[in-house]
Amino acid sequence: MRTPAVLAGVWKYRGFIMGSVQREFQSKYRNSLLGAAWTILNPLAMIVVYTVIFANVMGSRMAGHSAGFAYSIHLCAGLLTWGLFAEITSRGQNVFLENANLIKKLNFPRICLPIIVVLNALINFGIIFGLFIAFLLVTGQFPGWVFAAVVPVLLAQIVFAIGLGMVLGVLNVFFRDVGQFFGILLQFWFWFTPIVYVTDVLPPAIRNSLVWNPMAAVVTAHQGIILDARAPLWSSLAPVCVLGLLFCVLGMRLFRKRSGEMVDEL
């Protein structure tokens, strides 16, 4: 199936996609007293915990930042960015397994499923990121017009996450160890990314090795924009963009080649 045909199929089933996104969001909080408030409370609780534990230790090491909220902003920018990436890839690797009954019973473009995952992740991210922007405005820490640079950085990150998630999703249908392995890898990946620490505290050898971590460039770009009001070094994001496009192409090829076999495996 060619790309135009894929896009046409997605557009034809846009009602199915939006309905699925709405149902998933509503079902998550259907029998909850606080409802959608948990979308806000869960990440806020995590941010508060990390801030309380690390702020006093790391805050004094952030050279050039005298503001009391400097470390909190550094941490939030990293955690929210990582959370979006982790949700897309983690759910993407299981998207075909979790929807096995739907795939077997209904005839629809299977590519709709990863799109639903991404849209749900973006809704969750949008809610908490909107609160973060409100916090920046209230505390007088909003970086100004340079904040617009967040958009292309986010796009590069989303493409990378979609491509990786799609590759993992197809492979996980045939090799279930892929999902287990990636869950472990994601934990190490988090701590190899400058989220709860700043790169200045790292030994030079480890600091230089971060160049091999595509998410380090993304997180650092977000932190630089939001905390320092500094436009990102666009060349540092080039590997993320290239990897993202490669993963997307590979994911689509795997999907097209194995889509028939996937039904039997499921």
- The pLDDT, as a whole number, for residue 217 is 93
Identity at 7, one-letter amino acid code: L
CA 20 to chain centre: 20
Q: Running DSSP on this structure, what letter comes out for residue 192?
A: T
Cβ contact 74:54 at 8 Å: no
Alpha carbons 118 and 115: distance in angstroms, whole number: 5
CA 2 to chain centre: 27
Cβ contact 13:113 at 8 Å: no
Q: What is the extent of the structural domain holding 137?
A: 3-265
Which residues of the chain fall short of a pLDDT of 50? none
Count up the domains in the chain and report the number: 1
pLDDT digits (tens, 9 = 90+) for 163-219: 999 899 889 888 888 888 998 999 999 999 998 888 877 888 888 888 899 999 999
Which residue has 């993407």 as its token pair? Answer: 92
Cβ contact 29:128 at 8 Å: no
Task: Name residues whose C-beta falls within 8 Å of residue 229's C-beta, 6 or more positions apart in sequence.
Answer: 143, 144, 146
Indicate the Cα dihedral angle 228, 229, 235, 240, nearest 10°: 80
